[in-house]
């Protein structure tokens, strides 16, 4: 029974449920189960259609079945030089069945007695003339166990440490009647129009599917009850994104109107014409800058599509209107490259300063003074831009490059520095070279306006990609040597800096060892350099400067060169143990080559232990040169969190929805969220929806001014 008090029964502690003592409560609490509501919304991970056998002689091998019989034997078997296992024999008038468990909990085994009637639930095998089950569930008929036998649809939950499936299922069934008290957060108009069941009906049906339920649909998350929970989650997600965007746009921003057109600015800055995509993105950005509400825009495009040129053009517009601009990059190498390109573009048109971690104290003080007094019109740097002592006189535009590499608070800090000095919110442009599938853009970047550069500049040749096995290593070395002999340059990328002592990484090549081996072996007639993240900033800059000046022919590196490095004479990139990298990261890496007139080649070498599945996955890169299509494939394989760093983006995690699988539900929820906020911008008339948003977003919504 649930203790009666002022709380809703759903918010009661599980300690008041009969049968939940202090020990079990501590186990439940450690697993995140504190209230009845927590337990009710812990849904099955899969469903099984269970056959009941009349006798133990009527079993069907290969099927999941429930069998009932008398326990006639139980023993712990300890084979020599092997781990022990537990075994029981169940018998009835028709036959017998043997069940075995490895890594079994002894207290469960000890709780059943010879002569007791039991039910086993699991997959039946027929081996050496005997019926067997491996790791079945044990259900005792005493203590309410028979209640778990209702219906032919069986629920399987994700394991919870310290609690058996049977115990967990018993607890959930005990509190399931309280699910009828779950309040309905959706407006009735939306629920009926979308033809969705109530939330309480959905929870009850997912824990105890009605007779005749479609097991395939349940396991594919297509049942109406699962789709209802997915819709609720996506609706709360989209409402939160729209509220966050509205909060950001509610503060004032400088109106930046350049006297020059996009074409005029481009002609002043660059020796080339913008592509149609670049010009279109630049017009969208300049249109935002001319408004008195802060721009919050994402500029994304494929590797080498020309995002930096658009960013510099936006900075030029801000400076032309009398405001400062700042560009923050995640690495010193990328910041230095932006600084070099900006100096080439602006020449004497604007004072530009660089602020990175390895500069001398006197130099930093001079740059900080220039930013604070306004003498620096454009400040480019790393995290150093948000350190103590840095301020701006009149920052109008903040640009964050490779934005997913920064935490939300770091991005906020840059804007807050400007707000503290001027009292207004600067415009924000964030950039990424990771092409974003549409469903992901609707979620992770749902509170940003999006500009896309979909096409490469004319004359940019696609990089030829090959997937190689170990037997092709020598021919790969010859191909690299021939390119170096022609005066070209190459990268070789390794997953480790140094050899690892971990058994899990045994046999994985590392950059430090291979740099020495290659310099004394197949490339002894060429200049070989080494780059990795453990070098000091001064050492990294020295290596890259040497590579730029062609004092290094072959650069051995880790993924520290993944973004932004631009060396036109580099034509070959090799990735060793390519199976250890995600597709999007490999696409980023191959963008380091093919930046000159000679095109480029990317060679993906897979380790000897990798199987056919890894080979086939990498073949996506051979077939696809579009980063957008590569990103779609990577999303399907790895999920959004690993691709664009959603853990840093201030986004809540999803329990039920899947961006790739449930795109149609996401689209419907987004439209409904937009319509709801048009009618009621603060959801004053929808307390249930406000609670839904609060539960999903928790403390993320306070980051309202940054993406």
Query: DSSP secondary structure string, 430-467?
Result: EEESS---HHHHTTTTTTSEEEEE-SPPTT-PPPEEEE
CA distance readout (Å), 63 to 66, 122, 259 = 10, 8, 75
Residue 594 lies in a domain: yes
Which of 453, 483, 509 finishes a domain? 453
Q: What is the pTM of this model?
A: 0.68
Dihedral-angle region of residue 230 (phi above 0 means left; psi in -120 to 50 means alpha; beta otherwise):
alpha
Same domain, 40 and 58: no
pLDDT of residue 703: 43
Same domain, 34 and 71: no
Is 624 a residue whose pLDDT tops 90?
Answer: no
Residue 123's pLDDT band, with cuts at 50, 70 and 90, is confident
Number of separate domains in the chain: 4
CA distance readout (Å), 201 to 209, 224, 227, 234, 528 = 10, 10, 12, 19, 66
Using DSSP's 3-state secondary structure scheme, residue 266 falls into helix
Is 447 a residue whose pLDDT tops 80?
Answer: no
Q: What is the pLDDT of residues 527-556, one digit of tens each?
A: 999 998 888 877 887 898 899 899 999 999
Same domain, 6 and 113: no
Residue 18 lies in a domain: yes
Q: Where are the alpha helices (DSSP H) in 43-185?
A: 106-110, 165-175
Same domain, 611 and 475: yes
pLDDT of residue 484: 96
C-alpha span between 42 and 656 (Å, rounded): 10
Closest CA to 167 of 65, 25, 68, 34: 25
CB count, 10 Å around CB of 527? 16
Residue 290 lies in a domain: yes
Contact call for residues 569 and 488 (beta carbons, < 8 A): yes
Which of 105, 120, 150 finishes a domain? 150
133: part of which helix (H) or strand (E)? strand 130-134
Which of 109, 124, 150 finishes a domain? 150
Q: What is the CA radius of gyration of the chain?
A: 31
Is 2 a residue whose pLDDT tops 50?
Answer: no
630: part of which helix (H) or strand (E)? helix 627-638
The share of the chain scoring above pLDDT 70, in percent, equals: 87
Same domain, 102 and 40: no
Strand partners, 138: 120
Is 106 a residue whose pLDDT tops 70?
Answer: no
C-alpha span between 482 and 525 (Å, rounded): 12
Same domain, 324 and 433: yes
Residue 636 lies in a domain: no
pLDDT of residue 648: 44
C-alpha span between 184 and 224 (Å, rounded): 16
CB count, 10 Å around CB of 45? 11
Same domain, 481 and 616: yes
Q: Cα angle vertex 134, ends 133, 139, to 5°?
A: 70
Residue 510 lies in a domain: yes
Render the burial of 416-443: b for 16+ CB within 10 Å, e for the rest. bbbbeebebbbbbbbbbbbbbbebbbbb
The sign one gets for the Cα dihedral 585, 586, 590, 592 is positive
Q: What is the pLDDT of residues 548-579, one digit of tens each?
A: 899 999 999 998 876 657 788 999 999 999 99
Residue 267 lies in a domain: yes
Residue 514 lies in a domain: yes
Higher pLDDT, 629 or 266: 266
Task: Give the CA-trace dihedral at 401, 405, 407, 410, to 10 degrees.
Answer: -40
Residue 221 phi, psi (nearest 5): 60, 35
Is 645 a residue whose pLDDT tops 80?
Answer: no
**What CATH number should be reported for the domain holding residue 292?**
3.40.50.300
Higher pLDDT, 614 or 217: 217
β-strands 324-328, 395-400: how paired?
parallel
Least confident of 19-33, 210-224, 307-321, 409-423: 409-423
Contact call for residues 554 and 490 (beta carbons, < 8 A): yes
Same domain, 93 and 139: yes
Residue 647's pLDDT band, with cuts at 50, 70 and 90, is very low
pLDDT of residue 444: 61
The sign one gets for the Cα dihedral 182, 188, 192, 194 is negative
Same domain, 544 and 402: no
Is 164 a residue whose pLDDT tops 90?
Answer: no
Same domain, 416 and 300: yes
* Average of per-residue pLDDT across 492-514: 81
Residue 316 lies in a domain: yes
Q: What is the extent of the structural domain holding 64?
A: 51-150
C-alpha span between 599 and 459 (Å, rounded): 10
Same domain, 279 and 380: yes
Same domain, 33 and 65: no
């Amino acid at each position: 029974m649930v203790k009666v008090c002022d709380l809703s029964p759903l918010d009661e502690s599980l300690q008041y449920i009969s049968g939940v003592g202090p020990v079990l409560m501590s186990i439940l609490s450690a697993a995140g189960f504190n209230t009845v509501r927590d337990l009710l919304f812990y849904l099955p991970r899969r469903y099984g259609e269970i056959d009941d056998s009349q006798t133990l002689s009527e079993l069907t091998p290969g099927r999941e079945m429930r069998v009932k019989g008398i326990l006639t034997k139980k023993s712990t078997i300890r084979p020599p030089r092997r781990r022990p296992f537990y075994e029981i024999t169940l018998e009835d008038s028709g036959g017998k069945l043997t069940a075995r468990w490895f890594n079994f909990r002894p207290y469960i085994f000890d709780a059943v007695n010879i002569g007791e009637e039991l039910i086993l639930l699991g997959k039946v095998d027929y081996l050496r003339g005997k019926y067997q089950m491996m790791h079945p569930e044990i259900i005792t008929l005493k203590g309410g166990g028979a209640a778990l036998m209702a219906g032919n649809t069986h629920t399987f939950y994700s394991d919870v440490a310290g609690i058996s499936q049977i115990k967990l299922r018993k607890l959930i069934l005990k509190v399931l009647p309280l699910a009828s008290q779950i309040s309905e957060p959706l407006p009735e108009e939306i629920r009926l129009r979308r033809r969705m069941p109530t939330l309480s009906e959905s929870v009850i049906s997912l824990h105890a599917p009605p007779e005749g339920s479609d097991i395939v649909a349940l396991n594919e998350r297509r049942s109406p009850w699962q789709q209802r929970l997915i819709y609720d989650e996506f609706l709360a997600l989209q409402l939160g994104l729209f509220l966050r965007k509205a909060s950001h746009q509610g503060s004032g921003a400088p109106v930046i109107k350049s006297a020059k057109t996009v074409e005029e600015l481009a002609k002043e800055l660059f020796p080339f014409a913008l592509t149609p995509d670049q010009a279109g993105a630049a017009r969208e950005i300049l249109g935002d800058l001319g408004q008195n509400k802060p721009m919050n825009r994402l500029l994304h495009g494929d590797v080498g599509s020309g995002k930096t040129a658009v960013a510099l053009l936006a900075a030029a517009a801000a400076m032309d209107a009398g405001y400062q601009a700042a560009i923050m990059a995640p690495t010193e190498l990328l910041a230095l490259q932006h600084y070099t390109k900006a100096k080439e573009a602006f020449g004497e048109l604007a004072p530009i300063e660089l602020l990175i971690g390895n500069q001398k104290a006197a130099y930093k003080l001079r740059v900080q003074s220039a930013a604070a007094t306004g003498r620096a019109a454009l400040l480019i740097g790393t995290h150093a831009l948000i350190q103590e002592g840095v301020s701006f006189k009149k920052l109008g535009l903040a640009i964050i490059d490779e934005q997913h590499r920064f935490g939300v608070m770091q991005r906020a800090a840059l804007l807050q520095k400007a707000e503290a000095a001027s009292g207004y919110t600067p415009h924000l442009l964030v950039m990424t070279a990771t092409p974003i599938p549409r469903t992901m853009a609707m979620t992770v970047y749902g509170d940003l306006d999006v500009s896309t550069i979909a096409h490469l500049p004319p004359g940019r040749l696609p990089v030829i990609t090959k997937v190689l096995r170990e037997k092709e290593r020598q021919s790969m070395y010859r191909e690299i040597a021939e390119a170096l002999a022609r005066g070209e340059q190459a990268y070789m990328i390794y997953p480790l800096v140094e050899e690892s002592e971990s058994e899990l990484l045994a046999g994985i090549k590392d950059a430090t060892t291979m740099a020495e081996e290659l310099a004394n072996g197949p490339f002894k007639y060429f200049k070989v350099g080494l780059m990795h993240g453990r070098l000091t900033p001064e050492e990294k800059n020295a290596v890259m400067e040497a590579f730029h000046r062609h004092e290094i022919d072959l650069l051995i590196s880790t993924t520290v060169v993944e973004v932004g490095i631009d060396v036109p004479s580099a034509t070959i990139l090799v990735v060793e143990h390519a199976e250890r990298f995600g597709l999007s990261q490999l696409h980023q890496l191959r963008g380091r080559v093919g930046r000159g007139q000679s095109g480029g080649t990317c060679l993906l070498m897979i380790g000897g232990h990798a199987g056919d599945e890894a080979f086939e996955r990498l073949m996506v890169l051979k077939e696809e040169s579009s980063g957008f299509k590569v990103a779609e494939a990577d999303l399907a394989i790895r999920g959004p969190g690993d691709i664009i760093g959603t853990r840093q983006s201030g986004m809540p995690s999803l329990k039920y929805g899947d961006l790739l699988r449930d795109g149609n539900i996401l689209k419907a929820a987004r439209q409904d969220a937009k319509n709801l906020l048009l009618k009621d911008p603060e959801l004053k008339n929808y307390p249930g929806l406000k609670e839904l948003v609060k539960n999903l977003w928790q403390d993320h919504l306070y980051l309202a001014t940054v993406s």
